[in-house]
């Protein structure tokens, strides 16, 4: 249940596809104790006053060391977790081939935050958010934005 005392966090995420597989990260458990038990897409929090696309460009470059080419907004997810309302915006990254060989040692944040980077089929893995496990990643350039609410 939403209350006026609840904090809101805004995050941006990149959907990076190669050969029908989704680029996912397994985070080190430095912030969340269970982070190494699931996969997620690259991205992170939007700073106050920061626009969504520049925030996504910054986050992906910090984590993976590669400048993303940001395409369409694909998904918007809204949910509540531990008294924080989270809004997540997932954008298509159109230069997926640039992410085939990520060197975390050459990044500003990746080596400290990320355990593993891999293109995988999310249907067979514990990928969060869960809706990604059943998505088809073809023809994303023409997909209308999908909305997911878990309130």
- Tens digit of pLDDT for each residue in 62-81? 999 999 999 999 999 999 98
The predicted pLDDT at position 31 comes to 61
The predicted pLDDT at position 109 comes to 86
Whole-number average pLDDT of the chain: 92
- Over residues 75-102, the mean pLDDT reads 95
- Are residues 94 and 71 in contact, defined by beta-carbon separation less than 8 angstroms? yes
Neighbours of 141 (CB within 10 A): 10
Domains of the chain, by residue range, sit at 22-138
pLDDT confidence tier of residue 83, bands split at 50, 70 and 90? confident
Cis check: omega of the bond before 88, within 30 degrees of 0: no
pTM here is 0.92
Q: To the nearest whole percent, how much of the chain has pLDDT over 70?
A: 93
- Over residues 97-108, the mean pLDDT reads 95
Q: What is the dihedral of CA 42, 47, 51, 54, to 10 degrees?
A: -50
Lowest-pLDDT choice from 9-13, 49-53, 147-151: 147-151
Structure tokens that stand for 29 in this block? 């458990």
Domain spanning 22-138: CATH 3.90.79.10? yes
């Amino acid at each position: 249940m939403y209350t006026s005392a609840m904090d809101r966090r805004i995050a941006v995420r990149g959907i990076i596809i190669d050969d029908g597989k989704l680029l996912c990260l397994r985070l080190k458990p430095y912030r969340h104790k269970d982070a190494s038990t699931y996969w997620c897409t690259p991205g992170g929090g939007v700073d106050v006053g920061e626009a969504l696309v520049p925030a996504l460009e910054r986050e992906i470059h910090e984590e993976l060391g590669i400048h993303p080419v940001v395409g369409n907004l694909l998904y918007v997810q809204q949910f509540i977790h531990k008294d924080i309302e989270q809004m997540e915006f997932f954008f298509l990254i159109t230069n997926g081939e640039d992410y085939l060989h990520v060197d975390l040692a050459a990044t500003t944040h990746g080596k400290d935050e990320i355990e593993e980077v891999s293109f995988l089929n999310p249907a067979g893995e514990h990928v969060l958010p869960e809706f990604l496990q059943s998505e088809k990643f073809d023809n994303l350039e023409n997909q209308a934005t999908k909305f997911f609410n878990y309130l």
